[in-house]
C-alpha cells in the first residue's frame, strides 16, 4: 500500500484508476480491504492526514437551524485517515429484524433488503471490528457461562438487548482504530491520497454517468481523478453535502432529480430516562452491567440492557427504543483507584509530584478501607467470570430511540462557505413527538416490570410526563443517518438496493446515509456490513474477470 500527499503533487494532475473511494473511515477502508490482493487499482481519497489538523477539521463546520446538536462535532466527526473510528467508543449492535420491515405506523419505513441477507455480512463485519459472535439475544447467557437472570421480565413487553464493544487488534483497551490497523504490506494495488478534499463530482452532461472527481488541498493545489467506479464514504452529512454541492452541470446537484438528497436526516436522540439510588442498586448494576465472553479471539465485553419488544411496538405503534445503565464512578471507587495505581506502576515513576503523590495515597486508602468491596469484585472476576461492580456516584438510565423518518428533517447548502469556498452544510434536524412518547412508554414499562419482579425502580425524569421543554432533554449521538437513503423508487430514495445512485452509472454511496431507518443500535456494525456487501457487488458487477478493466489500459494507476 502506498501513501501519497496531494500537497507534494504537481498542480492540475490527472489520475486514472478503476476504483476511487472518497473517505477512509470504517466504510471506506472496509471496502478497500476487500480489494487487497486483486488486480483492481484502488485510490482512497482522504481529506485529512495521519494526525489531527484543526484547519482540515474546520471543513466540517455546519450551520444548524434545527434542534441543537449538543455533542462537540470536532470530537466525533474526524477528517483524518481512519475517519470517525479515530474517536468512536466502540459500541456495536446490528439493526433488529423489525427495523428493516415496512411498518404501517412508521411512514417511509422498510428496507428493500431482507434482514436474513445481511447475516453473513454481519459476521464478516465482526472480524473487521474485533468483536465476538454475531449474537445479541438470550442465547448469550450460555456463551457468557452464567445463568439467565431470574425472575424473568415479560418478553411480550421488553426484551434483553446486548451491545458488544469493538476491540483494536493492537490495543485491546481501545476500540478498533481503522487508520492505525489498515496498513497492509501486501497491497500494491491500494493507494491512499492524503490532504485531498473532494470539491466536485463530475458527470456527463445528462447526469447519467460518473466521470471524475475534483479535489484540492487547503493551499488550492488541484487534482482530478477519473475512475470506472467511485464510492462516496464521507459520512451521513458529507455524502449529502458533496452531492448537493456538485451542481455545475446539474443545478440541484448529482442524483437529486427528485429533491431527495439530504432529506430524512435522522440520528439516535439520547436522553436520561431517570436514575437509581447508587446505595441501593447493586442488583441493578449486577443484572444490567457488563459481561465477558471468552473465546479463541480473547475476551469480549458486552453490555446488557432492555428494549421494547417488536410485538409491543406494533401493538402501541411505537418506535424502536433501548435503555442501558450509565454509571459515573465515585472518586473513591477502589477499582478505579487500582487502575490509577497500576498505571503509575507501569510508568515506573519512583518519585511523584506532590499532587500525584497525594492522589496515590488517597487511592491506596480507598482500596484498604473497602477491602470487602475488593474481595467481592475478585470473586465476581475469578469465580463468576463477571467484571467487578464499581462504586458509583450516580447511576443513570440512558436511552437511545429510533427516529421517525421525516423528509423535512434535512441537510441543505448554507450561504456560508468553508476555506475552499464550498457551501457549509445547513442542518435542520427535527425530533418528533413520537420519539418522546416512545421513550416515555419505555420508562413506564421498565418501572412496571421492575416493581413486579422486585428490582429497585428508577426515578423517572419529570419532563417525560410534563412535556415541558422536552426536546432540550434529547441530545444527538453524532449518528447522522438517512440523507441518501436506499429505495427501489428514485422518487423516495437516492440509491438503489445495491447502493448505486439512481440513474448515475458508476456512482455509489456507503455509510449510514443510505439507511432508510435507524433502529436504536449504534450504526458502525451495520455500516461495515453494508460496505462489505457493496464491495462484493462491485467485484461481481463491475470488476469481474470477464470485463475489460482499467488495469489493462496503458495508463491505469499511473500518474
| Local confidence pLDDT in tens for the 559 residues of the chain | 899 999 999 999 999 999 999 999 999 999 999 999 999 999 999 999 999 999 999 999 999 999 987 666 666 789 999 999 999 999 999 999 999 999 999 999 999 999 999 999 999 999 999 999 999 999 999 999 999 999 999 999 999 999 999 999 888 889 999 998 887 778 999 999 999 999 999 999 999 999 999 999 999 999 999 999 999 999 999 999 999 999 999 999 999 999 999 999 999 999 999 999 999 999 999 999 999 999 988 999 999 999 999 999 999 999 999 999 999 999 998 888 888 887 765 655 544 455 556 678 888 888 888 888 889 889 888 888 889 999 999 999 999 999 999 999 999 999 999 999 999 999 999 999 999 999 999 999 999 999 999 999 999 999 998 888 899 999 998 999 999 999 999 999 999 999 999 999 999 999 999 999 999 999 999 999 999 999 999 999 888 764 444 334 333 333 3
Q: Which residues of 485-514 are buried (b: 16+ CB within 10 A; e: fewer)?
A: bbbeebebbbbbbebbbbbbebbbbbbbbb
- Cα–chain center distance at 34: 20
What's the CATH number for 1-91+175-269+403-430+474-559? 3.50.50.60
Q: What angle do CA 392, 308, 515 make, to 5 degrees?
A: 100
Q: Which residues does 105 contact at the CB level (< 8 Å), separation at least 6?
A: 314, 317
For residue 151, say if its preceding peptide bond is cis, omega within 30 degrees of 0: yes
Task: Cite the residue boundaries of each domain of the chain with CATH code 3.50.50.60.
Answer: 1-91+175-269+403-430+474-559
- Cα–chain center distance at 517: 14
What does each C-alpha distance from 174 to 97, 126, 129, 177 come to in angstroms? 29, 15, 11, 8
Beta bridge partners of 20: 43, 230
Distance CA 1, CA 421 (A): 32
Distance CA 171, CA 160 (A): 29
Give me 390's grid cell.
464499581
* Predicted model pTM: 0.93
Please tell me whether residue 384 adopts helix, strand or coil conformation: coil
Helix axes 354-369, 371-382, angle to 10 degrees: 80
Distance CA 149, CA 18 (A): 54
For cell 481512519, name the residue: 82
Q: Which stretch of DSSP H or E encloses residue 336?
A: helix 334-347
| Cβ pair 290, 325 in contact under 8 A | no
CA distance from start to end of the chain: 16
Number of CB atoms found within 10 A of residue 21's CB:
30
Distance CA 113, CA 102 (A): 11
Comparing CA positions, the residue from 40, 419, 83, 42 lying closest to residue 193 is 42
In this structure, what are the phi and psi dihedrals at residue 221, rounded to the nearest 5 degrees?
-85, 130
Amino acid at each position: 500500500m502506498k501513501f501519497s500527499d496531494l500537497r507534494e503533487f504537481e498542480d492540475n494532475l490527472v489520475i486514472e484508476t478503476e476504483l476511487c473511494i472518497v473517505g477512509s473511515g470504517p466504510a471506506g477502508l472496509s471496502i478497500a480491504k476487500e480489494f487487497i490482493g486483486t488486480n483492481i487499482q484502488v485510490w482512497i481519497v482522504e481529506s485529512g492526514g495521519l494526525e489531527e489538523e484543526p484547519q482540515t477539521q474546520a471543513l466540517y463546520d455546519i450551520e444548524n437551524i434545527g434542534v441543537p446538536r449538543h455533542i462537540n462535532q470536532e470530537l466525533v466527526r474526524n477528517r483524518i485517515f481512519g475517519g470517525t473510528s479515530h474517536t468512536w467508543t466502540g459500541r456495536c449492535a446490528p439493526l433488529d429484524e423489525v427495523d428493516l420491515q415496512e411498518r404501517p405506523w412508521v411512514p417511509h419505513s422498510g428496507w428493500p433488503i431482507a434482514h436474513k441477507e445481511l447475516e453473513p455480512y454481519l459476521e464478516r463485519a465482526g472480524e473487521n471490528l474485533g468483536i465476538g459472535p454475531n449474537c445479541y439475544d438470550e442465547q448469550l447467557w450460555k456463551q457468557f457461562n452464567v445463568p439467565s437472570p431470574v425472575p424473568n421480565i415479560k418478553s411480550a413487553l421488553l426484551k434483553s438487548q446486548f451491545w458488544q464493544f469493538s476491540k483494536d487488534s493492537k490495543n485491546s483497551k481501545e476500540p478498533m482504530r481503522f487508520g492505525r490497523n489498515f496498513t497492509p504490506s501486501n497491497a500494491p494495488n491500494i493507494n491512499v491520497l492524503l490532504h485531498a478534499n473532494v470539491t466536485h463530482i463530475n458527470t456527463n452532461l445528462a447526469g447519467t454517468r460518473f466521470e471524475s472527481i475534483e479535489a484540492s488541498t487547503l493551499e488550492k493545489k488541484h487534482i482530478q481523478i477519473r475512475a470506472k467506479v467511485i464510492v462516496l464514504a464521507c459520512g451521513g452529512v458529507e455524502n449529502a453535502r458533496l452531492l448537493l454541492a456538485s451542481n455545475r452541470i446539474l443545478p440541484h446537484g448529482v442524483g437529486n432529480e427528485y429533491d431527495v438528497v439530504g432529506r430524512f436526516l435522522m440520528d439516535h436522540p439520547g436522553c436520561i430516562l431517570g436514575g437509581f439510588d447508587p446505595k441501593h442498586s447493586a442488583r441493578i448494576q449486577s443484572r444490567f452491567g457488563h459481561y465477558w465472553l471468552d473465546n479463541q479471539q480473547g475476551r469480549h465485553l458486552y453490555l446488557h440492557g432492555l428494549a421494547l419488544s417488536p410485538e409491543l411496538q406494533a401493538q402501541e405503534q411505537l418506535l424502536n427504543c433501548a435503555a442501558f445503565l450509565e454509571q459515573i464512578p465515585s472518586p473513591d471507587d477502589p477499582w478505579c483507584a487500582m487502575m490509577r495505581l497500576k498505571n503509575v506502576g507501569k510508568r515506573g515513576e519512583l518519585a511523584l509530584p506532590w499532587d500525584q503523590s497525594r492522589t496515590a495515597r488517597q487511592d491506596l486508602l480507598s482500596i484498604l478501607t473497602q477491602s470487602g468491596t475488593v474481595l467481592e469484585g475478585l470473586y465476581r472476576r475469578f469465580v463468576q467470570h463477571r467484571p467487578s461492580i464499581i462504586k458509583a456516584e450516580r447511576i443513570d438510565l440512558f436511552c437511545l430511540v429510533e427516529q421517525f423518518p421525516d423528509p423535512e428533517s434535512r441537510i441543505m447548502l448554507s450561504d456560508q462557505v468553508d476555506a475552499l469556498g464550498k457551501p457549509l452544510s445547513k442542518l435542520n434536524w427535527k425530533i418528533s413527538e413520537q420519539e418522546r412518547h416512545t421513550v416515555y412508554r419505555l420508562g413506564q414499562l421498565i418501572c412496571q416490570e421492575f416493581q413486579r419482579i422486585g428490582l429497585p425502580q428508577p426515578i423517572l425524569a419529570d419532563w417525560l410526563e410534563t412535556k415541558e421543554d422536552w426536546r432540550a432533554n434529547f441530545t444527538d449521538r453524532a449518528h447522522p443517518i438517512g440523507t441518501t437513503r436506499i429505495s427501489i423508487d428514485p422518487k423516495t430514495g437516492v440509491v438503489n438496493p445495491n447502493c448505486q445512485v439512481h440513474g448515475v452509472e458508476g456512482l455509489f454511496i456507503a455509510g449510514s446515509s443510505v439507511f432508510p431507518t435507524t433502529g436504536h443500535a449504534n450504526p458502525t456494525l451495520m455500516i461495515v456490513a453494508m460496505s462489505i456487501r457493496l464491495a462484493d457487488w462491485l467485484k461481481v458487477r463491475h470488476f469481474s474477470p470477464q470485463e475489460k478493466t482499467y488495469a489493462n489500459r496503458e495508463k491505469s494507476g499511473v500518474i
